[in-house]
């Protein structure tokens, strides 16, 4: 009887415990549901208001903001002051977190909100001083441009104040537990300077060659130069005479992506179906959420322009007005030099120049760090520029490297925003370019009157000595800049007989051009493919232009795969390698996402570089090896022609390099996609997700990122789509695609990946991601009879 009673007690206890567990699970489930619902409505509350009316102080008259179905704001104002105020307000509505991150990165203030992880990055940007030169730039701008910046900043700050008061700042600010500070006119200038930085990057290649000279033989060092310098051995010895541990100094440098470039082209009306010029442009930059561009249409009685702008800057930098259209690619000229500075061993802030010691400027740049003590950081500037070889270290060495760069001088680029918008023909547009200094850019132009034109525009130094291949002595006075290439001598083409002009970051001048532009150009394949297509027939349609922007013909593979296959002929291969080679022989050389051959080829080329350099060159230094692909291409070409260099010879010759790299590439593909080569596809590896910066913190990736999509193309096809080697994630490419037929100046065909809005709950957050991946376009109309009919309307009313 007692045993039965005990069993009942245990049974009742188990039942009670089960009920408690069930009740607890139900409570947890309910809490999760409630939190999810409250989180959902909280996020909805942070969406920008796009309909109705908002009363704001700072406007003179009412402004209408029509957002079309793609989230493009069409801003209608009765005067320029209100127009730029409204642009600042609307841009902040969609992108204020992105704007704040750009200015923090460019000014070296990330650590204030992120913490110690970004200290080295902050130190570097404090050292180069984009924020300092932005303030210096203000004084050289015209009153009208200054007023534009003031009104834009006022619009941004009006939104910030309202969002703070209403408690609906974007969720990113809540997650990072800070609020944005007031936007200033200097911040907008800084955005432009940061774009110049992002499209620069030649000093890293000089630093890399300095590293080579310190660590390798003359023969090995010169084998990796883009061209053989005059007096090569003497150049190498000069670098060795001034030792500095480059690896120690630059291992943590934030380096721009060397693939930052673009495609653009214009066709004359003689080659188009409409009889008017076509213009196409797709700038290649980092691909993330949100996009680096915001598509916008601005209209007032005397100013009408549509296109894209980097959030934080006013106006439109790429696009069209009622008379003309224009596009940009990166020239990539040598506008940066590293100067080797000799420091006074007794006075650390003095440097030698022509036999005398000069006092450098010492600039206090204290860095606030979230959760840590403030860092007492000092920047040293010589006559050549800021010392950047010590940004990661406090100790002073006898030798230092100073950066001289055109963008570190005050420059009036923002003047062109108004001038581009008002230009009616080539002469007026060309005159506007006289204000555009950095980054030096390839502009293509088309006008409704039928002209097409091209100009490489910007400040490009003329050097007394040398060609920017290596760091140069800063104490002799022999390597100073003697001004810039005369403006009238910059490369220019107007209405060529060929009937079209195209650029793709390629070499833009012949060898007889009297001035030095660059040692490093993009691989020639994108430009050659564009030219091949535009020469292929006499007449083109808009659909042809779309097809060309989305073209995935791989001329890189077309050159090298036959060479590789010929070298492997009659060589003993593993069974799977033989299958791969046989399949490569029948490839149409297109980087289509459903094919296996692009996967093999791009792995193969990566592994060739790994075979040659990994384990020999420090991993951190490979990040500074700009132009690596071009150099390796030449190593292969020379070796195939019977003149192998030391890097090829060290690995047993070209055949051994190709064979070893093939095995590694195939093994990598097997590890990722299995042993059946017929199931391998480029798209299973090569995918786009447009990652949000906070998605690196899991599980925030579930909130901010969408599912990945397979993507065709690669870094050397016209349809540009570069990727992270370790994951295959596409993170660089056409940040905006646009095509314009000047027969109808009120329309353009465009796509901004992944969308217009930075708000995760907005319907325009990732709504262009599919079009970007699949090759779709939307029409942006500047005709009010069209965009007003289906748009959301927000009225900004002045506060009287």
Confidence of residue 13 (pLDDT cuts 50, 70, 90): low
Q: Which residue has the higher pLDDT, 87 or 47?
A: 87
* pLDDT band, residue 254 (cuts 50/70/90): confident
* Binding site, annotated residues for Ca(2+): 334, 337
Query: What mean pLDDT comes out for the span 588-592?
Result: 98
Cα–Cα distance measured from residue 264 to residue 655, given in angstroms and rounded to the nearest whole number: 38
Question: Using one digit for the tens of pLDDT, what is the confidence trace for 465-481?
Answer: 878 888 999 999 999 99
pLDDT, one tens digit per residue, over 198-234 is 887 689 999 899 899 889 999 999 999 987 566 555 6
- pLDDT of 9: 62
pLDDT digits (tens, 9 = 90+) for 742-752: 999 999 999 99
pLDDT tens digits, one per residue of 281-338 = 999 999 999 999 999 999 999 999 999 999 999 999 999 999 999 999 999 999 999 9
The question of whether 708 is a catalytic residue gets the answer no
pLDDT single digits (tens) 434-457: 999 999 999 999 999 999 999 999
pLDDT reported for residue 733: 96
The verdict on whether omega for the bond into residue 362 sits within 30 degrees of 0, i.e. cis, is no
Summary count for the chain: helices (H), strands (E):
27, 31
pLDDT of 24 > 70? The answer is: no
Q: What is the pLDDT of residue 35?
A: 41
Per-residue pLDDT at 32: 42
pLDDT of residue 70: 96
Q: What is the per-residue DSSP string for 85-145?
A: HHHHHHHHHHHHHHHHHHHHHHHT-SHHHH-GGGHHHHHHHHHHTHHHHHHHHGGGS-HHH
Point out which residues pair with 447 in neighbouring strands. 324
Q: Can you give the pLDDT at residue 37?
A: 43
What's the mean pLDDT in 724-746? 96
Query: Would the pLDDT of 717 be above 50?
Result: yes
For 143-191, what is each residue's pLDDT tens digit? Answer: 999 999 999 999 999 999 999 999 999 999 999 999 999 999 999 999 9
pLDDT tops 80 at residue 3: no
pLDDT score at 18: 63
At 380, the pLDDT band (50, 70, 90 cuts) reads very high
For 425: left if phi > 0, alpha if psi spans -120 to 50, otherwise beta; the answer is: beta
Structure tokens at 794: 């927000």
> Has residue 426 got a pLDDT over 60?
yes
CA-to-CA distance for 245 and 432, rounded, in angstroms? 44
Task: Quote the DSSP letter at residue 757.
Answer: -
- pLDDT of residue 667 exceeding 70: yes
**pLDDT-based confidence at 38, cuts 50/70/90?**
very low
Give me the chain's average pLDDT, please: 92
pLDDT for 34 equals 44
Which listed residue (134, 262, 629, 748) is catalytic? 262
Model pLDDT for residues 212-221, shown as the tens digit of each residue: 988 999 999 9
Is pLDDT at 533 greater than 80 in this prediction?
yes
Q: Roughly how many angstroms between the first and final C-alpha of the chain, as a whole number?
A: 90
Q: Kindly report the number of other CB atoms within 10 A of residue 710's CB atom.
A: 18
Tell me the C-alpha distance between 315 and 480, whole Å.
36
pTM of the model: 0.92
Are the C-beta atoms of residues 317 and 285 closer than 8 Å to each other?
no
Predicted local distance difference test score (pLDDT) of residue 31: 43
* Model confidence pLDDT, tens digit, residues 78-130: 999 999 999 999 999 999 999 999 999 999 999 999 999 999 999 999 999 99
pLDDT for res 790? 86
pLDDT of residue 338: 93
- The two three-digit tokens of residue 381, written as one number: 């500037």
307 forms beta bridges with 296, 319
CB 189 within 8 Å of CB 417: no
Structure confidence at residue 72 (pLDDT): 98
Are 372 and 122 within 8 A, CB to CB? no
DSSP code for 32: H
Residue 190 near residue 107 (C-beta atoms within 8 A):
yes
Pairing of strands 721-723, 73-76: unpaired
Distance CA 579, CA 563 (A): 17
How much is the pLDDT for 23?
Answer: 63
- Please give the pLDDT value at position 15: 62
pLDDT score of 78: 98
Long-range residue pairs from 479-488, CB within 8 A, at least 24 positions apart, any chain: 479/337, 479/339, 481/337, 481/404, 484/406, 484/459, 484/460, 485/460, 485/461, 485/515, 487/434
Q: What is the pLDDT of residue 249?
A: 72
Q: How far apart are CA 685 and CA 681, in angstroms?
A: 7
- The band of 253, judged by pLDDT with boundaries at 50, 70 and 90, is confident
Alpha-carbon distance of 95 to 163, in angstroms, equals 13
Query: Is 476 exposed, middle or buried (CB count within 10 Å of its CB: 0-12, 13-18, 19+)?
Result: middle
Are 684 and 524 in contact, with CB atoms under 8 Å apart? Answer: no
Higher pLDDT, 260 or 547: 547
Whether the CA torsion 512, 513, 518, 522 is positive or negative: it is negative
Average pLDDT over residues 719-741: 96
Residue 2: pLDDT over 60: no
Residue 41 pLDDT: 44
If one compares 275 and 521, the residue with the highest pLDDT of the two is 275
Give burial (CB, 10 Å; 0-12/13-18/19+) of 522: buried
């Amino acid at each position: 009887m007692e045993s039965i009673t005990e069993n009942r007690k245990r049974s009742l206890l188990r039942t009670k415990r089960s009920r408690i567990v069930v009740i607890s699970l139900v409570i947890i489930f309910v809490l999760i549901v409630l939190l999810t619902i409250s989180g959902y409505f909280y996020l909805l509350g942070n969406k920008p208001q796009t309909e109705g009316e908002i009363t704001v102080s700072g406007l003179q008259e009412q402004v209408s903001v029509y957002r079309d179905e793609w989230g493009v704001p069409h801003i209608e104002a009765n005067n320029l002051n209100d127009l730029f105020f409204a642009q600042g307000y609307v841009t902040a509505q969609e992108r204020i977190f992105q704007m704040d991150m750009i200015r923090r990165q460019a000014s070296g203030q990330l650590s204030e909100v992120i913490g110690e992880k970004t200290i080295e990055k902050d130190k570097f940007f404090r050292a180069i001083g984009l924020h300092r030169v932005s303030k210096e730039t203000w004084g050289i701008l015209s009153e009208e441009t200054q007023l534009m910046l003031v009104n834009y900043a006022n619009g941004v700050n009006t939104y910030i104040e309202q969002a703070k008061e209403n408690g609906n700042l974007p969720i990113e600010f809540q997650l990072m537990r800070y609020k944005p500070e007031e936007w200033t006119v200097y911040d907008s200038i800084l955005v432009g300077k940061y774009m110049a930085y992002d499209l620069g990057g030649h000093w890293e290649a000089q630093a890399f060659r300095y590293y080579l000279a310190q660590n390798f033989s003359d023969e090995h060092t010169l084998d990796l130069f883009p061209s053989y310098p005059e007096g090569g051995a003497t150049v190498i010895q000069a670098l060795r005479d001034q030792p500095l541990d480059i690896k120690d100094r630059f291992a943590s440098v934030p380096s721009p992506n060397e693939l930052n470039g673009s495609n653009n082209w214009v066709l004359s009306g003689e080659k188009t179906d409409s009889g008017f010029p076509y213009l196409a442009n797709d700038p290649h930059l980092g691909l993330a959420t949100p996009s680096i561009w915001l598509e916008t249409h601005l209209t007032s009685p005397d100013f009408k322009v549509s296109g894209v702008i980097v959030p934080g800057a006013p106006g439109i930098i790429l696009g069209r007005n009622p008379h003309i259209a224009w596009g940009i690619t990166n020239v990539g000229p040598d506008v940066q030099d590293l100067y080797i500075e000799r420091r006074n061993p007794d006075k650390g802030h003095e440097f030698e120049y022509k036999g005398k010691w000069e006092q450098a400027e010492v600039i206090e740049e204290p860095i606030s760090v979230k959760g840590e003590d403030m860092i007492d950081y000092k920047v040293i500037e010589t006559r050549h520029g800021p010392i950047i070889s010590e940004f990661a270290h406090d100790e002073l060495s006898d030798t230092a490297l100073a950066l001289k760069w055109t963008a570190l001088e005050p420059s009036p680029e923002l003047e062109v925003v108004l001038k581009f918008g008002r230009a009616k023909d080539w002469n007026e547009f060309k005159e506007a370019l006289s204000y555009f200094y950095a980054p030096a850019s390839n502009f293509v132009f088309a006008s409704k009157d039928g002209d097409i034109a091209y100009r490489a525009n910007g400040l490009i130094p003329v050097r007394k000595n040398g060609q920017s291949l290596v760091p140069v002595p800063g104490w002799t006075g022999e390597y100073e800049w003697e001004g810039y290439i005369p403006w009238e001598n910059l490369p220019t083409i107007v209405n060529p007989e060929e009937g079209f002009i195209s650029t793709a970051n390629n070499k833009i001048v012949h060898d007889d051009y009297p001035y030095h532009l660059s040692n490093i150009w993009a691989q020639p394949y994108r430009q050659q493919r564009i030219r091949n297509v535009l020469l292929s027939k006499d007449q083109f349609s808009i659909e042809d232009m779309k097809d060309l922007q989305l073209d995935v013909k791989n001329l890189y593979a077309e050159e090298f795969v036959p060479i590789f296959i010929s070298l492997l002929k009659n060589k003993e291969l593993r069974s799977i390698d033989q299958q791969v080679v046989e399949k490569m022989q029948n490839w149409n050389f297109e980087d289509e996402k459903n094919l296996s051959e692009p996967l093999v080829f791009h792995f193969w080329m990566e592994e060739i570089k790994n075979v040659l350099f990994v384990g020999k060159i420090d991993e951190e230094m490979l990040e500074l090896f700009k132009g690596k692909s071009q150099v390796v291409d030449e190593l292969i070409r020379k070796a195939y022609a019977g003149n192998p260099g030391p890097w090829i010879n060290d690995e047993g010759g070209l055949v051994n390099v190709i064979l070893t790299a093939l095995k590694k590439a195939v093994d990598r593909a097997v590890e990722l996609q299995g042993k059946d080569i017929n199931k391998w596809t480029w798209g299973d590896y090569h995918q786009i997700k447009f990652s949000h910066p906070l998605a690196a913190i899991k599980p925030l990736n579930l909130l901010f990122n969408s599912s990945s999509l397979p993507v065709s193309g690669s870094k050397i096809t016209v349809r540009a789509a570069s990727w992270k080697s370790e994951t295959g994630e596409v993170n660089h490419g056409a940040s905006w695609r646009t095509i314009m037929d000047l027969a109808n100046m009120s329309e353009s065909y465009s796509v901004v990946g992944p969308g217009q809005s930075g708000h995760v709950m907005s319907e325009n957050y990732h709504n262009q991601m599919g079009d970007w991946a699949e090759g779709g376009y939307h029409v942006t109309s500047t005709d009010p009879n069209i965009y007003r009919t289906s748009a959301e309307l927000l009225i900004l009313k002045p506060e009287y």
